[in-house]
Amino acid sequence: MVREDEIDFEKEKNRIRKILLGSCKMNDPKMEKNGTYEITPPKEDKFFECDNMKGGLNGGQEQIIKFTFKPPPVDPLLKGIQALRGIGQWVESTWEVKLMGGYVEMGTPDQLFIDVVLRAYVEQI
């Protein structure tokens, strides 16, 4: 039999997603430049949080960025009604990651934009 605290731990663990940002170390230290990143959430997002919205990366360095799902509290009036359990909808949020600097070949832009799509199921009516 599974204990209630184990179920709560699994729920909490499943609310976190991670991405890894890194900067390659160059063989020639003269060519190496530091890079930076900036993460921008959509304005209407109310379900997700990011632990490190901006920062810098030196050559050979890695940074783990965590996105956490923050579900709204369950309505206490609906919590006890078994027939309404599990009813909800999927929410989706696209966050923009901007990578800047670092070593860039001639003729290529020094900024790169990447979309991170976060999805979660929200139990609410």
pLDDT in tens, 43-66: 988 899 999 999 998 888 899 999
What's the pTM value of the predicted model, to 2 decimals? 0.78
Confidence band, pLDDT 50/70/90 cuts, at residue 87: confident
The backbone torsions φ and ψ at residue 66, rounded to the nearest 5 degrees and listed phi first, read -110, 135
Q: Does 15 or 83 have the greater pLDDT score?
A: 15
Q: Domain segments of the chain: what residues?
A: 4-71+96-115
Q: What is the DSSP string of 60-123?
A: T-EEEEEEEE-PPPPPHHHHT-GGGTT--EEEEEEEEEEEEES---TTS-SEEEEEEEEEEEE-
**According to the model, what pLDDT value does residue 18 have?**
93
Asked whether residue 100 carries a pLDDT value surpassing 80, the answer given is yes
Confidence band, pLDDT 50/70/90 cuts, at residue 3: low
Confidence band, pLDDT 50/70/90 cuts, at residue 107: confident
Q: Name residue 10's amino acid.
A: E
Q: What is the mean pLDDT of residues 36-49?
A: 92
**Residue 75 Ramachandran class (φ > 0 left, ψ -120 to 50 alpha, else beta):** beta
**According to the model, what pLDDT value does residue 15 have?**
87
What is the layout of strands, in order, in the sheet containing 35-40? 54-57, 35-40, 89-101, 111-122
Confidence band, pLDDT 50/70/90 cuts, at residue 67: very high
Q: State what percent of residues in the chain have pLDDT above 70.
A: 83
CA–CA separation, 119 vs 72, rounded Å? 14
CA–CA separation, 32 vs 27, rounded Å? 8
Architecture of the 4-71+96-115 domain: Sandwich (2.60)
